[in-house]
A and B are shown apart, each in its own frame.
Chain A
Amino acid sequence: MANKGFEILNAGPDLRAVTLDANKHMFYGFPFGSAMDYKSVMAVNQVLGKEPNSKVLECSLKACKLRANEDSFICVGGADMGWKIDSETIEGYQCYEINTGQILSGGFSKNGLRSYIAFSREIDEVSGNHIIFQNDSEKSTPQPKAYQFKVNNNLVIHRGPEWNLLDQKSKEAMMIYSARISPNLSRMGTYLDGKVLTIKTNFPKQSVCTFPGVIQLLPSGQLLVLAQDAQTTGGYPRIAYLDKDNLADFNQLPIGKELKWRLEIL
């Protein structure tokens, strides 16, 4: 099959090809990587009848603009970015045919933060301004919609390795905590604007292992939730971590959004 792929007319603030797989070389300091919202990735792939882990495009904050250089089926999901094929609005988690020369575009996210695009053929790579498909990949068979994206800001956390460094008041505050997503957010992590917490004793000056979803307490008392592209080690106490099912939900919360969590003791 000819490999014409799609042309990127506008990448938006952050466009990348992602899967659900972690980087295999974390021992050498490579971040975990992978998609920020695995639920949406699995769902868009499912609609196109593909393996849940197939590579998709991830757009953060604002949609990209693509021109089809070949006929394809696509499915968009995750945050609603007002996606259109030419001037026709399309819905999330539905299969649409896009023909050569047609344009896929959208705007800023209306709910959530990250949107995903799956293609019927397997993405090989994003190279320069082209999305290149694997040579031997055939179009998959579309399946009915089975998922609806919803922003979930009621989250669950668990106690982290340094939970006991928190003073009693801070422990109580962490049990049911509310905060807002600060503007300081990226694929590395998100700072929260919320109640300032304190620890009883100094945290030793040595690095510890970190992971996506871990909640670090900074010396200022502010909380930082690490995400998929965070460093593999860090120097701040890990007082808690997000329940794995909620990390994808957290990663979809936009700047300024209020969130609440409750502590569940395992």
Chain B
Amino acid sequence: MNPLLIASINFNLIEIDNDKLLLQVTNNQIKQSTSIPLIAEHINNSQLKQIHNVVAAENEILIYYKKESFTELLNELQKFSNSKIIPDKESFKIEVCFEFGEDWEAVCNHTKKKREQIISELLKCKFPLINYGFQPGFMYLDDLDESLSVPRRSTPRLKVPAGTLAIGGKYVGIYGSESPGGWNIIGRSSHKIIDNFEIEHFPSIGQKIEFIQIGKQSYLRKYGK
């Protein structure tokens, strides 16, 4: 199959089971002009009638499509060939209670910084959302200062509460739902999947995430445990 151009990036195509299409960035594009998850989100949000689902990874996109709509799907995707996809510039605010951080000791020891100093640095930053994945609603946030990077725990926890804010290597992560996890817990946020959650209220890829600190009592009153 010929490569497909989307948002000025060439993708190789692999058809799987006649209902999935894997788009892989071709090898000759060392540094893409735009992030692959951002393109995937654009395709997902376009709500093409041929598509059931879209999944994004660092360098590929998996599209679940309706059987027998392959040709139609390709025609639709070709319309995105020169699309300029720009992330939402408005920052997205997420409330965080740092008192729920269970791994402050490990984080402080590794970074050789005091907890208050780390919190102050985190509150000053705006972290771009680079992708969802791993678990329902899990957010990968980029641009963590190297001095705050902390390796993942050697033994993952069996249960990490929904909303947890954590550091894993060079990323900040937010657990949208309760799951096992090996990142270092530094707080709990308002981003969690509860009974009446709405995907429409999730931040979009590339959007800058800003943390707003709140106290434990306020957190519990607004968001529960």
Residues of A that sit less than 8 Å from B by CB: 22-32, 158, 161, 206-209, 211, 213, 231-233, 241, 243-244
Q: Say whether B133 contacts A29, CB under 8 Å.
A: yes
The verdict on A209 contacting B132 (CB below 8 Å), with A26-B53, A29-B137, A232-B55 known, is no
Contact A233 B133 (CB under 8 A): yes
Chain B contact residue count (CB 8 A cutoff): 33
Query: Is B132 touching A28 in the complex (CB atoms < 8 A)?
Result: yes
Which residue of chain A lies nearest to B20 when distances are taken between CB atoms in the complex? Answer: A211
Residues of B within 8 A of A209 (CB): 22, 55-57, 60-62
B residues in contact with A26, CB < 8 Å: 53-55, 64
- In the complex, whether B14 has a CB less than 8 A from a CB of chain A is yes
* A27-B136 contact in complex given A206-B58, A209-B62, C-beta closer than 8 Å: no
| B138, CB-defined interface residue at 8 Å | yes
Interchain Cβ contacts under 8 Å between A and B, 19 examples: A24-B52, A27-B40, A27-B44, A28-B132, A28-B136, A28-B137, A28-B176, A29-B133, A29-B134, A29-B137, A32-B53, A206-B57, A206-B59, A207-B133, A208-B59, A211-B64, A231-B134, A241-B17, A243-B17
- Give the Cβ gap from B168 to chain A, nearest Cβ, in Å: 13
**Cα distance, A30 to B53, chains bound together (Å):** 11
B210 interface hit (Cβ, 8 Å): no
User: SS class of chain B's interface: helix, strand, loop or mixed?
Assistant: strand
CB neighbours (8 Å) of A243 from chain B are: 17
Complex: how many Å from CA A243 to CA B17?
7
Chain A residue with Cβ nearest B54: A27
Flag if A233 contacts B53 (CB, 8 Å). no
Q: Which chain A residues lie closer than 8 Å to B16 at the CB level?
A: 158, 211, 241
Asked if B17 contacts A244 (CB within 8 A), the reply is yes
Q: How far is the CA of A151 from the CA of B116 in the complex (A)?
A: 60
Indicate if the CB atoms of B53 and A24 lie closer than 8 Å: yes
Within 8 Å of chain A (Cβ to Cβ): is B190?
Answer: no
